[in-house]
């Protein structure tokens, strides 16, 4: 347990010593994620409509559990029919500028043991997404009686034009960018520290060598010494009357 605590403490001190590098990396990657989400990635809008599956009643007849279970059992079948070519081809013909791969922009959902089917349509245009969702619900409700010989669907709530895009999520992407910056910078720092074989403290020397440290030599800066070149002293010329002194016996002054 002591070794684990020491390792965690070492990691903490390593990261703390490089805090400015980590912070700068987080800001750069977070800012990059924000810029891409804000100015590069095109916005995507989502519109949804709901269809209720319920058996038709005649007169004062009330619904029993068998009829409700029968309607719930038809929900999965209806979800498959909604994305069938016979439905999507008609929607594609009725909607201007509808994409060729319409099925890729439609999601059909339903809660467990529920009689409500939710149709979600996505597009780079808010109006187009709303039109696709409403048209799919209308075409499906009109075609079900012909295909199943039963009229038990009705539109519960139409799709409204969204005002805000669902993607990209700028706050989420920015937060992910900051988190990735922290993980990336911390990982690089710890890996470099792991492969660095230099001994930086007395405790590391004791752990590596397995012997206690008796003494240590402090580091000091060596003073800068200028190499000054001495210019040779010029000899004075001999004057008339001066005694001659051999060169080997002359005194340097």
What are the chain's domains? 2-40+168-202 (no CATH), 45-157 (3.30.70.1130)
State residue 202 phi and psi, 5-degree precision: -65, -35
Q: What pLDDT is recorded for position 250?
A: 56
3-class SS at 49? Answer: strand
Burial of 48 (0-12, 13-18, 19+ CB in 10 A): buried
Q: What pLDDT is recorded for position 91?
A: 93
Sheet containing strand 116-123, strands side by side:
106-110, 116-123, 45-53, 153-157
15 or 176, higher pLDDT? 176
Distance CA 4, CA 68 (A): 60
Q: What pLDDT is recorded for position 10?
A: 78
Residue pair 89/100 in contact (Cβ under 8 Å)? The answer is: no
Residues whose CB is less than 8 angstroms from the CB of residue 8 and which lie 6 or more positions away in sequence, other chains included: none
Q: What pLDDT is recorded for position 253?
A: 46
**Where does the pLDDT of residue 224 fall: very low under 50, low under 70, confident under 90, or very high at 90 and above?**
low
What DSSP designation does 88 have? H
Closest CA to 113 of 66, 154, 152, 75: 75
**Model confidence pLDDT, tens digit, residues 131-148:** 999 999 999 999 888 888
What DSSP designation does 9 have? H
For 181, other C-beta atoms within 10 Å of its C-beta total 22
Buried b (16+ CB within 10 A) or exposed e, 2-23: eeeeeeeeeeeeebeebeeebe
Average pLDDT over the chain reads 81
- Highest-scoring range by mean pLDDT, 150-159, 161-170, 207-216: 161-170
**Where does the pLDDT of residue 162 fall: very low under 50, low under 70, confident under 90, or very high at 90 and above?**
very high
Q: What angle do CA 97, 99, 102 make, to 5 degrees?
A: 135
Q: What pLDDT is recorded for position 146?
A: 86
pLDDT of 199 > 70? The answer is: no
Residue pair 191/51 in contact (Cβ under 8 Å)? The answer is: no
Query: What is the mean pLDDT of the segment spanning 192-201?
Result: 74
């Amino acid at each position: 347990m002591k070794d684990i605590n020491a390792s965690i403490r070492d990691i903490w001190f390593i990261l703390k010593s490089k805090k400015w590098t980590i912070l700068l990396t987080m800001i750069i990657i977070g800012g990059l994620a924000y810029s891409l989400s804000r100015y590069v990635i095109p916005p995507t809008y989502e519109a949804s409509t709901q269809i209720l599956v319920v058996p038709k009643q005649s007169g004062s007849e009330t619904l029993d559990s068998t009829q409700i279970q029968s309607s719930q059992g038809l929900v999965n079948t209806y979800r498959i029919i909604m994305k069938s070519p016979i439905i999507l081809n008609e929607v594609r013909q009725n909607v201007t500028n509808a994409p060729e791969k319409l099925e890729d922009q439609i999601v059909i959902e339903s809660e467990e043991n529920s009689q409500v089917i939710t149709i979600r349509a996505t597009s780079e245009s808010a109006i187009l997404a709303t039109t696709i969702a409403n048209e799919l619900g209308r075409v499906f409700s009109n075609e079900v009686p012909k295909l199943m010989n039963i009229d038990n669907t009705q539109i519960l709530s139409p799709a409204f034009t969204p005002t805000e895009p669902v993607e990209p999520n700028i706050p989420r992407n920015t937060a992910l960018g900051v988190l990735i910056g922290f993980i990336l910078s911390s990982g690089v720092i710890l890996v470099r520290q792991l492969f660095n074989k230099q001994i930086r403290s007395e405790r590391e020397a004791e752990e590596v060598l397995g012997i206690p440290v008796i003494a240590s030599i402090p580091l000091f800066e060596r003073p800068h010494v200028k190499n000054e070149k001495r210019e040779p002293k010029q000899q004075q010329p001999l004057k008339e009357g001066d005694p001659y002194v051999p060169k080997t016996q002359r005194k340097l002054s």
